[in-house]
Structure 1
Amino acid sequence: MDTPGLPAKIDPDVLTTVLDGRWAELRRAVRAQMAAEVFEDPVDVDTETHRVQVLEWLRLLARTDRPGLGFDPAYGGGGDVGGALTSFEMLGFGDLSLMVKAGVQWGLFGGAVQLLGTERHHERYLRDIKDLDLLGCFAMTEHGHGSDVQHLRTTATYDPATREFVVHTPDRGAMKEYIGNAARDGELAVVFAQLITGGESRGVHAFLVPIRGEKARGVEIEDCGRKAGLNGVDNGRLTFDQVRIPREALLDRFGDVAEDGTYTSPIESDGRRFFTMLGTLIRGRGRVSVAGSAGSATKRALALAIRYGEQRRQFARPDGEEVVILDYRAHQRKLLPALATSYALHFAQEGLVSKLHDIAEDAPEEEQRELESRAAGIKAVSTWHATATIQAAREACGGSGYLSENLLAGLKADTDVFTTFEGDNTVLLQLVAKGLLTSYKDHFQDLSPLATARFVAEQLVEAVIERTSARKVVERLTEADDGDVLYSREWHLKLFEDREEHVLGGVAQRLRKAGSDPFGVFNDAQDHVLRAGRAHVDRVVLEAFVDAIERCADAEARELLERVCDLYALANIEADRGWFLEHGRLTSGRSKAVTAAVNALCADLRPHARTLVDAFAIPEPYLAAPMLRD
């Protein structure tokens, strides 16, 4: 079986142009600053030294216009949401503590003030936040409630006699935990709490609460201490003992309290208001930045491992010459499909950022929810990919990869938490599947398993996906010759689409049986729910890769990207071939042919491996591992 041909050699700069996309000029500017300043992972430093260094770097960033890109131009910002997200992504090539601290300050804290506050908050705080004259925190997660934000236990009770809110931590389970910037540098926190006025709870709202200084009486701060990674970020725990803040400290875009305690909101439903607020935050910052920076860290690991694989020699050929380890098929298998996936996820991330940048504030709710779902799914898949690929890269470098000086150990430690912060990946994939199942019904707001199953049991009939032409195309191509199909983009696309439709339809049928035990039925179907979410994201990612190739003007670069896309698609099919075989989408012979095709593509792409990682244009100081010295 022959693979389509490839050009002998391609200039990596041509691929960089394709990868850099819409914000190419900004990417070049960030690379230049990172090369000059070198925000490089410190090795063997104590926690305090690392925190001091990261804060110094943060101040260097504040001297540029990039931290303010996502803010309103009326307050010195750039009004460029896509540019802001791209800047955070690029910081992922360096010390990830800097990326996280920058994300907390300008993405989460500043983003919450801008997106949840109104003009009085913007006027008072945004310039200081942008210029780093006011450091802040984003205090959402509690010890007892991480993913289940709707049921946070911190309270903010309005006192009409003093026109103040009283913020209180009722028990240790309500302690704010893992709050970036809290342990050392933060002065003000956006605290998410249950708003209570007139004896009635109106759901979770955001409040500005001083955590240091004279106005912070009743605030207790505890340092989270040494972590497995990201020790340049000063994570802390916050508890509040009847802390009084003025009425104006409520970020009141979606709900306000008058002096007499009367509550008003442009959104009548408490549940819908909460998810509108949460969706606004998601569209603005967090999960998208985490996915992008995870992608950058993964690219860095692959660049290190592939460079090492091209120079490390092990065992001799019959002629006596030792073999570079990247010439071994097993080594190629370890790294090249992961590299293809990184390319695919890069283009999916780029498409997501563009959609976030372009979406109108008053876009239809269905469009907004679809974007939130895509952000959740890409974040989950990108961070799981980072964890698996950085581990594979470490193994590919043997004992050298285990040494801190060679950077992979630090990348592994720093990205490990990405799978559970800004949304636990398992919960996020359920969110993706729920969005598909419910067609974004307005009255479906509660994310709990019980509510999901109950809703589906009562309302799902019209949401069960009907079979489309995808299944028919797959059936037609099943009988075709392997050589005609394995490299057929139509077959790849329709196979991914058909898998998604089949799995989602099966989930719907299972959940319709909820009856008197909705939680039990949902619990039993949870693996299918997660598979549905993953199948959907895989299809979206493949389509993004295909779209990017169609935009590529250089014929040779396009041909190389076509083969990388083939490897992404076929490696994905191979990894899930148990499902494809069980459901008749692959014959046993075709399954073997897929594996042979993955091997052939690894062989064909081996001469281009260095080109493909060089195209990421990672500044050289961040690849200066001692193991790569001649």
Structure 2
Amino acid sequence: MTDTEAPRERTGDRTAEALRALLDGRWAGVRDTVRERVRGELFAPAAGLSMEEHRARVADQLAAIARTEVPGYGFPAEVGGAGDFGASCVAFEMLVADMSLMVKVGVQWGLFGGAIEALGTDAQRAEHLPGVIALDLPGCFAMTETGHGSDVQRLRTTADYDPGSGTFTVHTPDEAARKDYIGNAARDGRAAVVFARLRTRGEDHGVHALLVPIRDEEGRPLPGVAIGDCGPKAGLNGVDNGRLTFDRVRVPRSALLGRYGSVAEDGTYSSPIDDPSRRFFTMLGTLVRGRVSVAGGAGTAAKAALAVAVRYGDARRQFTRPGGGGEEVRLLDYRSHQRRLLPALARTYALHFAQGELVAALHDDRTGERPLDEHARRELESRAAGLKAVATWHALHTAQTCREACGGAGYLAANRLPQLRADVDVFTTFEGDNTVLLQLLAKALLTDYRDAFGDLDTAGTVRFAAGQVLEGVIERTAARSLIERLVAAAPGRGDAEELRDRGWQLRLLEDREEHTVAGLARRLRRAGKAGGAFAAFNDAQDHVLRAARVHVDRVVLEAFVAGIDRCGDAEARRLLEKVCDLYVLSLVEEDRAWFLEHERLSGTRAKAVLQAVDALCEELRPHARTLVDAFGLPDEWLAAPIALGAEEERQETQMGALSES
């Protein structure tokens, strides 16, 4: 294919606009509000800042956002908010101009304010949330301890109630109980939602949350509160992560966020949920917004990295083509370059639709528009855990791939890619370590498997697990009937044409999931009889993590199919169909060893998958700019000269200087 044969024009502004409208989706107005509000010199990405300069800049940005409608999105109307859970998630994920600001917003209004809203009583919400929304009460979320992160039930900070004074004594008993990595603690926070073991009348009632002041109006630590600074990090240095320890700090009885547990004046403990384990997981479940938001923010980071790399690859030329008249070839015309970027672009689209489906389901549950029962809510929270893991790993891999695809120019701080990669790195471990989150999802896939195995055969166990995960989530969507029709109409193992048959693709991923979960069930059942449930689960970790990953792959594909079904523009829909093909066939290509080993693909068919991915990359290459422009990321958010049409000579000069150094 010659340079003149590969069309350089984008598919057209109309198609990009149609795609953007679909991607913006239900909360398009919120996305436009953020695009309008987060602009100008204050919000422009700035490279080369010291840690203190970056923190001060982000604090100023946060104050500016506090003067807009954005902070109130996720809070009830009775405290000055909009009562729009989905809007709060979408607004958060749009703040890619500076991901330190994204995280700082998440700490103040997502974690700190969200904990008060979710765990506090009506009176506590009325008292504190107006100040949280207005930033009059800047705060932090003090859950993680030096010795305990994912294992929240074993936190060691204590809160002992004294009936004589009517106060709790919050205390850090040892170094392992120090609150660590706490955003907003080192510089700006004046209060913290502290998770501690609630003890009264000699009984430990497990982990509860208390609102504890940590600084006075002048910013000085309060008596008994020691505040440390985590110092420079690999990324997100605009976030003031700190450490908190408490030396017998007294707070009033009203400091206990009492929606799920309260203490009377005489020390009597009561809760609307009698079972301690159920109470604990109910409290944590109310905080799922953090994981959902992190997945969305990571998705936007991947979009920004791809927008920079695709634009650069569409303009940058390298080497001449024999017989091409001496004109150099654009990077994106090389198949290897297409394979770097376009499958990642397809997966980013797929994850966007899955994220949107998750946000909508959680929003409808929170607002009562389409409430879920307790079991379905738990399963949706498990899905949020799995999607967070897959989305953040994808964002990290994509940022690195885009950096490499831009060569030396991609290594320059001015072109944002190194910072995006550094910032998104920690997304894989905060709001839940990804590996632990996949374990949680796998346990949901095998709901109560130790009990169920006694009553069900292996096939029945798989049907039980899959049915529980889907109940109340996919079954409630109109897209499910579409998916079932496509699967039912899927052809058998015929010619290569079926590789692009959507029903065949759906059935292939569904079959892989069912087989993997069935194998895991058999393995756990056999091993459990010999060595116990923990040993069985621990020994099967490779299988456990695979079961979770393949489940997410299938869920994401179904969300993509539903997204395409909502597209009313014919040209945009045809383009999305190819993007979806690339998403699923690149997944199959990555896992072709499994499909070959388990005889789901023949050797010939496996080779055909590789050829189909090549063909799809070629077909999508002319539309790559359209696909990244449809993300709707303003140029000033990208702020990368290589993405904004800077002169090629300037870029060559920059790269030459870099290579000489």
User: Same fold, TM exceeding 0.5?
Assistant: yes
1:221 equivalenced with 2:227 (yes/no): yes
- Cross-structure match for 1:206: 209
- Cross-structure match for 2:571: 556
CA contact (8 A) 1:295 1:386 kept: yes
1:363 equivalenced with 2:343 (yes/no): no
1:334 equivalenced with 2:340 (yes/no): yes
CA contact (8 A) 1:10 1:556 kept: no
Query: Deviation of residue 456 (structure 1)?
Result: 7.0
Question: 1:476, 1:562 → 2: CA distance?
Answer: 16
CA contact (8 A) 2:487 2:506 kept: no
- Cross-structure match for 1:4: none
Cα distance 1:51–1:473, how it changes in 2: closer, same or farther (>3 A)? closer
1:307 equivalenced with 2:304 (yes/no): no
- Cross-structure match for 1:142: 145
Matched letter for residue 374 of structure 1: R
CA contact (8 A) 1:456 1:511 kept: no
Cα distance 1:99–1:583, how it changes in 2: closer, same or farther (>3 A)? same
Question: 1:601, 1:152 → 2: CA distance?
Answer: 50
- Cross-structure match for 1:186: 189
- Cross-structure match for 1:393: 402
Cα distance 1:460–1:205, how it changes in 2: closer, same or farther (>3 A)? farther
More displaced 10-residue stretch of structure 1: 343-352 or 25-34 = 25-34
1:372-394 CA-to-partner distances (Å, cap 9, x unmatched) read 01111111110000010000000
- Cross-structure match for 1:127: 130
Q: How does 1:368-383 map to 2 (within 5 A)?
A: 368-383=377-392
- Cross-structure match for 1:444: none
1:112-168 CA-to-partner distances (Å, cap 9, x unmatched) read 001100122112110000000010000000111111111111111111111111111
CA contact (8 A) 2:44 2:639 kept: no
CA contact (8 A) 2:489 2:503 kept: no
Question: 1:619, 1:458 → 2: CA distance?
Answer: 57
1:433 equivalenced with 2:442 (yes/no): yes
CA contact (8 A) 1:456 1:508 kept: no
1:465 equivalenced with 2:426 (yes/no): no
1:275 equivalenced with 2:281 (yes/no): yes
1:565 equivalenced with 2:580 (yes/no): yes
- Cross-structure match for 1:447: none
1:517 equivalenced with 2:517 (yes/no): no
1:290-325 CA-to-partner distances (Å, cap 9, x unmatched) read 111111111000000011101111111112211011
Query: Deviation of residue 241 (structure 1)?
Result: 1.0
1:235 equivalenced with 2:237 (yes/no): no
Query: Deviation of residue 474 (structure 1)?
Result: 10
1:264 to 256, 270, 278: 270
Cα distance 1:393–1:25, how it changes in 2: closer, same or farther (>3 A)? same
Query: Deviation of residue 432 (structure 1)?
Result: 0.8
Question: 2:258, 2:172 → 1: CA distance?
Answer: 21
- Cross-structure match for 1:353: 359
Question: 1:509, 1:588 → 2: CA distance?
Answer: 28
Query: Deviation of residue 41 (structure 1)?
Result: 2.9
Question: 1:459, 1:212 → 2: CA distance?
Answer: 56
Per the alignment, in what secondary structure is the counterpart of residue 198 of structure 2?
strand
More displaced 10-residue stretch of structure 1: 606-615 or 359-368 = 359-368
CA contact (8 A) 1:460 1:512 kept: no
Per the alignment, in what secondary structure is the counterpart of residue 486 of structure 1?
helix
Matched letter for residue 300 of structure 2: S
Query: Deviation of residue 39 (structure 1)?
Result: 2.0
Question: 2:454, 2:224 → 1: CA distance?
Answer: 47
Query: Deviation of residue 477 (structure 1)?
Result: 4.5
Question: 2:451, 2:183 → 1: CA distance?
Answer: 36
Question: 1:8, 1:180 → 2: CA distance?
Answer: 42
Question: 2:64, 2:214 → 1: CA distance?
Answer: 25
Query: Deviation of residue 478 (structure 1)?
Result: 5.2
Per the alignment, in what secondary structure is the counterpart of residue 9 of structure 1?
coil
5+ residue gaps, structure 2, are 1-8, 467-482, 648-661
Query: Deviation of residue 524 (structure 1)?
Result: 1.6
Per the alignment, in what secondary structure is the counterpart of residue 462 of structure 2?
coil
1:241-283 CA-to-partner distances (Å, cap 9, x unmatched) read 111111110000001111111110111111110000001111x
1:451-502 CA-to-partner distances (Å, cap 9, x unmatched) read x8x66766775861149999x979984531112x111000110111111111
Question: 1:167, 1:48 → 2: CA distance?
Answer: 30
Question: 1:145, 1:461 → 2: CA distance?
Answer: 38
1:179-213 CA-to-partner distances (Å, cap 9, x unmatched) read 00000000000000111111111111000111112
Instruction: Give the number of aligned pairs.
Output: 606
Q: TM-score, normalized by length of structure 2? A: 0.89
- Cross-structure match for 2:26: 22
CA contact (8 A) 1:16 1:617 kept: yes
CA contact (8 A) 2:490 2:502 kept: no
Per the alignment, in what secondary structure is the counterpart of residue 286 of structure 2?
helix
1:177 to 170, 174, 180: 180
1:529-584 CA-to-partner distances (Å, cap 9, x unmatched) read 11111111111110000001011111111000000000001001111111111111
Query: Deviation of residue 520 (structure 1)?
Result: 2.6
Question: 1:371, 1:201 → 2: CA distance?
Answer: 30
- Cross-structure match for 1:157: 160
- Cross-structure match for 2:349: 343
Question: 2:206, 2:372 → 1: CA distance?
Answer: 25
Per the alignment, in what secondary structure is the counterpart of residue 202 of structure 1?
strand
Question: 1:103, 1:215 → 2: CA distance?
Answer: 23
More displaced 10-residue stretch of structure 1: 486-495 or 116-125 = 116-125
2:11 to 9, 12, 15: 9
CA contact (8 A) 1:14 1:557 kept: yes
1:479 equivalenced with 2:482 (yes/no): no
1:569-602 CA-to-partner distances (Å, cap 9, x unmatched) read 1001111111111111111100000000000000
More displaced 10-residue stretch of structure 1: 525-534 or 25-34 = 25-34
Cα distance 1:202–1:455, how it changes in 2: closer, same or farther (>3 A)? farther
Question: 1:40, 1:337 → 2: CA distance?
Answer: 30
1:619 equivalenced with 2:621 (yes/no): no
More displaced 10-residue stretch of structure 1: 300-309 or 163-172 = 163-172
- Cross-structure match for 1:449: none
Matched letter for residue 72 of structure 2: G
Per the alignment, in what secondary structure is the counterpart of residue 281 of structure 1?
coil
Question: 1:473, 1:414 → 2: CA distance?
Answer: 40
Matched letter for residue 292 of structure 1: G
Query: Deviation of residue 25 (structure 1)?
Result: 1.3
Question: 1:99, 1:531 → 2: CA distance?
Answer: 31
More displaced 10-residue stretch of structure 1: 542-551 or 456-465 = 456-465
1:535 to 547, 550, 555: 550
Query: Deviation of residue 8 (structure 1)?
Result: 8.5
Question: 1:116, 1:591 → 2: CA distance?
Answer: 52
Question: 2:226, 2:455 → 1: CA distance?
Answer: 46
